[in-house]
Amino acid sequence: MLNHRDRVLMTLDHRQPDRLPIDLGGTQTSLLVEPYNALKRLLGMNSPTTVSNIVLGLAYIEDPVLERFDIDFRHVLPGQADKFQFQLLPDDSFYDEFGTRWRRPPGGYYYDMVEFPLASCSPRDLEKYQWPDPIDPGRVRGTCEQLAHLRTEADFALEAGLFGLWETCWFTVGLEHWLLACIDHLDFVEALMDRALDFLMDMHGNYLDAAGPYLDLVTLWDDYGTQSSTLISPALWRRLVKPRLARLVGMIRSKTRAYIGIHSCGSIASILDDLCEIGIQVINPLQVSARNMSVAELSQRYNGRLSFWGGIDTQFLLPHASPAEVQKAVISTLKIFAKNGGYILAAVHNIQPGVPPENILSMYDTARSAKIN
């Protein structure tokens, strides 16, 4: 039997492990509080649940749950900047360190962005905009100690999630204004992307100076897709995003031997070759319900070039199927990737309220016990 880390590294090297690795946790492969509590009740666990991510409504996944499913990963994040103090306002909103305001609607599970510091798309406002301190000591305080402990005390694969370039930009502008600016105000768009790139190069470089030697996978959060296509045309993506993303990936590569992944929901088949070209090795969450994102087709097309992480559908399968149907889908997916590795099993993004806990149990227990030889 391989240990957890060796299993993941063998898979990402496109070699066949003893079983395909499985993941639960982090910010893209976790559970919201409601389905997590339902799962714990099914497992006979009655511990109190804490929130790990207020914006996404994610539960902190406790060690007994991770151990119950033999999860191969542990996830880490940079710390919060000392100069930023989180404050939840009376209307259930808050400002992040970039000056964007988030608010949760009554009865909602998530916080939505409702106010943006650069919504004007004005070059003058961009010139005056005060970026957060990318090397604030709070971002890395305790990083080496935390990761050294995880590396020496356990055998898990360690993954770090980091801000991506595209999302850093539109989070300060608002998606509607940003997409219109990509057509009408290209000078502003390119200027903001250059400023954001400089910020991320400093912030991520500083973090990876501390964390890089310990990590096995670094993931940039940078959604490019919709259900049917990329948010902007592939040609425009290649002009605006690709060369800058290549610089960011190159910097990451200089700081760590970890594999480098992109988290992007939606249909991104049209730019996967480009992502390969600039050094992306892992795609999360493999949204199989989106156009042209078939597991069978992508595994064949990118065999040996890309690994996929996710792939168990959260839009239709997990909420609506029976446990037996979930089991069948998991086995089918595992068989596609069984021969050459390159696949980490997880849900397509975070598991939502309304997913029966029996289906979550079926997904993970099937993955853990399935024979892949």
Q: How far apart are CA 289 and CA 28, in angstroms?
A: 16
The domain made up of 4-84+121-369 is a member of CATH 3.20.20.210: yes
Portion of the chain with pLDDT greater than 70, in percent: 99
pLDDT value at residue 339? 73
The domain locations on the chain are 4-84+121-369
For the stretch 125-146, pLDDT in tens is: 999 999 999 999 999 999 999 9
What is the C-alpha separation between 9 and 284, in angstroms, rounded?
16
CA distance 362 to 371: 15
Given this model, what pLDDT does residue 214 score?
97
Q: At 372, is the pLDDT very low, low, confident or very high (cuts 50, 70, 90)?
A: low
Rg (alpha carbons) of the chain, rounded to whole number:
20
For residue 346, pLDDT over 70 is answered with yes
Mean pLDDT of the chain: 96
Indicate whether 338 pLDDT > 90.
Answer: no
Phi, psi values for residue 344, rounded to 5°: -115, 120
pLDDT band at 1 (very low <50, low <70, confident <90, very high): confident
- What are the φ and ψ backbone dihedral angles of 251, each rounded to 5 degrees? -65, -45
Whether the pLDDT of residue 16 is over 80: the answer is yes
Q: For position 360, what pLDDT does the model report?
A: 98
Q: Is the pLDDT of residue 221 over 90?
A: yes
Give pLDDT, residue 304.
93
